[in-house]
Amino acid sequence: MATERQERTIQEVKDSDPVCDGQAGLKFVHVGADQAVAYITRLRDVQGYTHLVFFTAIDYIEDSIFRLTYMVHNYASRQDLGVQVDIPRQGATMESIHHLWPHAATYQRELKEMFGIDFPGSPGVDDSFILEGWTGIPPMRREFDTKLYSEQTYFPRPGRVTHDTAAYMKEKLYPSEAETW
């Protein structure tokens, strides 16, 4: 069943009038995965979005998708545009954009390591980025239990206690301040 997020594709979006669900100077468009690179190329070459600000992913495990966000910036109109692309989590693969911005290769390398999203043809995409010799599932995927992994791997020191901050403040430290929490 397609969710509302997935139904919004490039067909609904006119180039001149991107979907606005952000603040002034920041807009987002939703684009289908097959049209995304063509769309971004057009943004860069025709519409003046010459700067790739960042390129990141969000794991929507409920919808079985990764949402990629290409944030591009237009210096002339001082406009940020986030191009959002949904790709399936299973066997996640996306077309590389390193030919548009060379530094995109670094983002893609990071996404490969942290989310397991493959970008075939991107330079050095299979090299380790910050995790050296990581063998488990990519740690930014939401099915990865970071607390469990830490407890099993890193010799936790016994005796760690967690307090509810507001209650602890009220009880121990600053009774008057606790009212404002």
Partner 1 sequence: MKESNMDGLQTTATETEQQLEDMAKEMRLANDGLLEQDKGYFCDVRPHRVEPYKGIMESFANWARSQSLWILGFGTGCGAIELRPLMTSRFDMYRYGIQARPTPRQSCVFIIGGYASVKTLKRIVRSYEQMQGPKFVLGLGSCTVNGGMYWDSYNTINRIDQYIPVDVYIAGCMPRPEALLGGFIKLKQMIREGKCEGMNKYIDDFDWYKANQKQIIHDWNMPDYNW
Q: Which is nearer to partner 1, 23 or 135 (CB)?
A: 135
Site string for partner 1, 93-132 (x = CB under 8 A): -----------------------------------x-xxx
CB of 93 to partner 1, least distance (A): 24
C-beta separation of 40 from 70 below 8 A: yes
Asked if 157 and 150 touch (Cβ cutoff 8 Å), the reply is no
Q: How far apart are CA 54 and CA 23, in angstroms?
A: 18
- Using CB under 8 A, which residues numbered 136 to 155 contact partner 1? 139, 144, 146-147, 149-151, 153-155
- Rounded to whole angstroms, the Cα distance separating 107 from 109 reads 5
Of 1 and 173, CB closest to partner 1: 173
Residue ranges binding partner 1 (CB under 8 A): 128, 130-135, 139, 144, 146-147, 149-151, 153-157, 159-160
